[in-house]
Amino acid sequence: MAHKHLGDCLDAVGRLEEGWKEFEIAQELDPNRDHLSEPFYRRGDYDRSIELVQKALESRPEDGNLHYDLSEDYALKGMYKEWVRELNQALTLGGFSESAGRIQRAFEVSGGD
């Protein structure tokens, strides 16, 4: 976990290449946990982030944080239908199903599918 935190710190000060190396080490040391989707997201590589979050969701489909992370990737890619779906899933899992319903209705009224 120390390598991930160091990677986060290096990213924060703009030392992205060094940060990436730390994320890779974290992934090698802890291959059963995703340490790369967030760094991909921060670097604008949403496709690779989406791939890793979707893979994590296969084993943890009830993890609202993962659904939220996926929603952010979709939003930034302009995949609004998928964004709303994942955001609603995250909200529902977090106990905010009424808010999820309101967001879905607003999306539909705005012309979303």
The H-assigned helical ranges of 1-113 are 2-12, 16-29, 37-42, 46-59, 64-77, 80-93, 97-109
79-112 per-position pLDDT tens digit:
999 999 999 999 999 999 999 999 999 999 998 7
Q: Domain total for the chain?
A: 2
CATH classification of the domain holding 76 = 1.25.40.10
Q: Provide the whole-model pTM.
A: 0.89
Amino acid 113: pLDDT: 63
Same domain, 75 and 109: yes
Amino acid 99: pLDDT: 96
The whole domain housing 24 covers 1-34
Same domain, 22 and 57: no
Nearest-angstrom CA–CA distance, 29 and 14:
24
Nearest CA-CA partner of 39 in 29, 53, 28: 53
Same domain, 8 and 51: no
Same domain, 112 and 65: yes
| Terminal-to-terminal C-alpha distance of the chain | 40
Q: Would you mind telling me the total number of residues written for the chain in this entry? A: 113
Same domain, 42 and 65: yes
For the segment 20-33, the average pLDDT, to the nearest whole number, is 95
Same domain, 78 and 51: yes
